[in-house]
Structure 1
């Protein structure tokens, strides 16, 4: 029976230290595919911001935006967009309560036209610009929809008011660095995995997940074979079956050897 392997990107395949994907990880992916296993990206990023190196790699599919977009091969199997009216209300609520969002869609990401007070947003803006993202359409322009979003906050932000509004139909993931990742209720990295396993008739015991951050928690809770990277969020600890080495220490290849996947 073939196995299905689900990989987070940032801090898992892609090093937060070097900004690169280790050759050992790419080699391990190639070897496990040759053995007949299936490999999937399972990321909070929307598809447009998946690094080109990973789009060129022979993954079986891409689960993006915390389960809001699923691509199997070249076919889009599922896509969930926040309804336009609700999307405009969310922008208003965030701005009125002094938070700053990055809105994420399948084909682009959207920033405020003005420079914000949040370095996290400005760093992301600079990171995305060479990819052609976030430079043509701005949040202030009412001509786009989006799948999910993040927002940054500080002491000026009325976080309670934001949570009260968003909590009606959104799940808020505390990324623990002054920002929240927000996804429509019912969608997560676990819901994406559930879709793939059912669609491809793969038993749960043949699923493996690899991650490092708090938005990986749903898939760690869902799948038994959960691999935490050497540097990982503490919220994953109770659910990690195996803690591997860091990305820079070839942690992906090390874990795949541990499980006999290569």
Structure 2
């Protein structure tokens, strides 16, 4: 198969998928976990690594919210929280949380609008004011209360209803660069502009030094910065149009095991 190569894999919509409406009906513990990869995708990742290659998770999720069956695959490391937290083996290469002034702005907007939010950190996720649906009770009534439940009291990004997220960005972006990314069910995530998947991939590749040819697999617009850092960007069949347009290869959908299909087509398994 030639020299060792390195691949970065998004989770939701790429390695696995859970219907958003079905997820909202799950228990709080289940709801926060990532989807589980299919047997075909799991086998393909294992064979990819067994051939001497490196595989990395590249996700917006907290590392503690990755399903144990996903985390058990032989990944060399992970870029989580949309690039805010990066780890290779036991080495933490990046850990950049939201500054206090942004979190204070989030608290202010939640109080004004009556909305709830989800704080995400390297140590897990905590709902505020019932979460984005307002129904996740009991939960802290303030961001400060939620931070008390997170070891270290830090949050790396926040998910809010989109109108509230836009207010936060409008008010706080003068002091710090913020990004906003629309998600499902009328929600958006807000994080630091400097935290992105592309920056995380660049950090990992710099640390490795001998990464070989590089591949990136994704489906959402937050994967576009990752695509800019790899030799072969691969879009899922279910990817957003802009993601497909930026890809060198469009594979099958996540429901049809597109990651496994692409790895085989590229001669990597």
Offset from partner CA, 1:174-220 (integer Å, 9 cap, x none): 236422122212110100100011111146x7110111112212112
Q: C-alpha offsets along residues 44-70 of structure 1, whole Å, 9 cap, x if unaligned?
A: 001111111122221100110011111
Deviates more, 1:29-38 or 1:96-105: 96-105
For structure 1, which runs of at least 5 residues remain unmatched after alignment?
Answer: 127-133
Please tell me whether the aligned partners of residues 105 and 172 of structure 2 are also in contact (alpha carbons under 8 angstroms): no
Summarize the Cα distance change of 1:230–1:73 in structure 2 as closer, same or farther, 3 Å threshold: same
- Tell me the alpha carbon deviations over residues 80-111 of structure 1, each in whole angstroms, 9 at most, x when there is no partner: 12223432233223442454321101112121
Residue 15 of structure 1, CA deviation: 2.3
Aligned partner of residue 89 in structure 1, secondary structure: helix
Aligned-partner Cα distance in 1 for 2:57–2:164: 35
CA contact (8 A) 1:175 1:214 kept: no
Residue from 246, 257, 260 that aligns with 2:264: 257
Q: Choose the corresponding residue for 2:249, options 228, 231, 242.
A: 242
From 118, 143, 151, the counterpart of 1:139: 143
Aligned to 1:219: 226
Determine if the alignment matches structure 1 residue 189 to structure 2 residue 197: yes
Q: Which residue of 1 aligns with 2:29?
A: none
TM-score norm. by structure 1 comes to: 0.83
Confirm or deny: 8 A CA contact 1:97 1:159 kept in the other structure: no
Matched, 1:40 2:52: no
Contact preservation (8 Å) 1:2, 1:36: yes
Q: Report the TM-score when normalising by structure 2.
A: 0.81
Aligned residues, how many? Answer: 246
Sort the Cα spacing of 1:23 and 1:94 in 2 relative to 1 into closer, same or farther, 3 A: same
| 2:154 is the alignment partner of 1:148 | no
Shift of 1:16: 2.7
* 2:179 counterpart of 1:171: yes
Structure 1 residues 104 and 37, CA, compared in 2 at 3 Å: closer, same or farther? Answer: same
Alignment partner of 1:8 out of 3, 10, 20: 10
